[in-house]
Amino acid sequence: MRPPWALLVLAAVCVGGGCASAPVAESHVTLERDDAAGALRFVVDGRELFVYRYGEEWAIPHIWPLRSPSGRSLLVQRTEPYPHHRSLWVVDRVRLADGPDTDFYHEWKNLRDAEHPELGHHSFIRHEGFSELRPGERGGAATAELRWIVQDETPVLDQRLRFELLDLGDGEYALDLSWELRASHGEVEFLSDWVHYGWPYLRMDPAFSGEHGGTITDDRGRQGQEATNGQYARWVDYSNAVDGIAEGVAVLVAGDDEPHKWLTREYGTFGPRRPDARSGTKFELRRGETLRGRVILFVHRGDVRSGRVAERLAELGERLDRAGQ
């Protein structure tokens, strides 16, 4: 049986303008798997960076926390007035063949008994196991296998979710996050509307939100919800100074050249849409077809300018694309 941890030596990303890549001090990355708690922790030298949550108490697997360089949680796992938000997640509203219209996003609609949420959900996304927990020269990788299930027993979609971590030193890191949904069980209709989805969806901790002084910035230099929401962008950054420490997270759409519009909210939600042909409209996956997505998350010190987000995202995207070839 493969051990639930891996010792990895990671190379550096060159962060100086025009400089050549150079090694950083050796870092020790562990993948700490705890099936009883439903958690896979990504840890560098004993410091937790993020956790993939897959316990059955949750209707949807998700990432929480996502730690800033100073150790704060950039995202919130549960909040009001939108208690279905789950930090960082990929979900949608779908229908298999002639089956029920199931909204996995609004998970409270799928409770067995709304007055007794402790009884759980009848429709949920279930973590089936890990097909990969792998050490490597550049970083730690894990692949989770999931299944979207309706009414306790009917599978709708099979999903593969892959994480690849790069430690950039000084508390900063990149997460190459990709997913594949396969219509293995029949034709699936996607019923998402314009408002209620982002792939992935992120919900910032209130301390980092625009309502508390945080700033949303896209790759064209536009700032704030009014200027960025519903606009095409390659990446969006959300950052703030909390207790005098400026930090944030940027999300770069990777893996395709098609334009993506974005959802952004000053209260703390943001994420890219799918390409227009499959965004905010009904479409179908025929049996055996797949739907893929990929983003690179860059957790950084400073704001979008002092953290040199544009420059460093370009370097990360090029580096990770070369590594995947």
Residue 267 in tokens? 């209260």
Q: What is the reported pLDDT for 1?
A: 36
Residues of the chain with pLDDT under 50: 1-24
Question: The whole model's pTM is what?
Answer: 0.89
Q: How many CB atoms lie within 10 A of CB 116?
A: 9
Q: What is the reported pLDDT for 324?
A: 61
Q: What is the reported pLDDT for 323?
A: 63
Q: How many CB atoms lie within 10 A of CB 226?
A: 11
Q: What is the reported pLDDT for 26?
A: 65
- Segments making up each domain of the chain, as ranges: 92-324
Q: What is the reported pLDDT for 146?
A: 98
Q: Where would I find the beta strands (DSSP E) of the chain?
A: 29-34, 39-44, 47-53, 62-66, 88-89, 93-96, 102-103, 124-134, 140-150, 154-169, 172-182, 188-190, 201-203, 215-218, 235-242, 245-253, 262-264, 269-272, 283-285, 290-301
Q: What is the reported pLDDT for 300?
A: 98
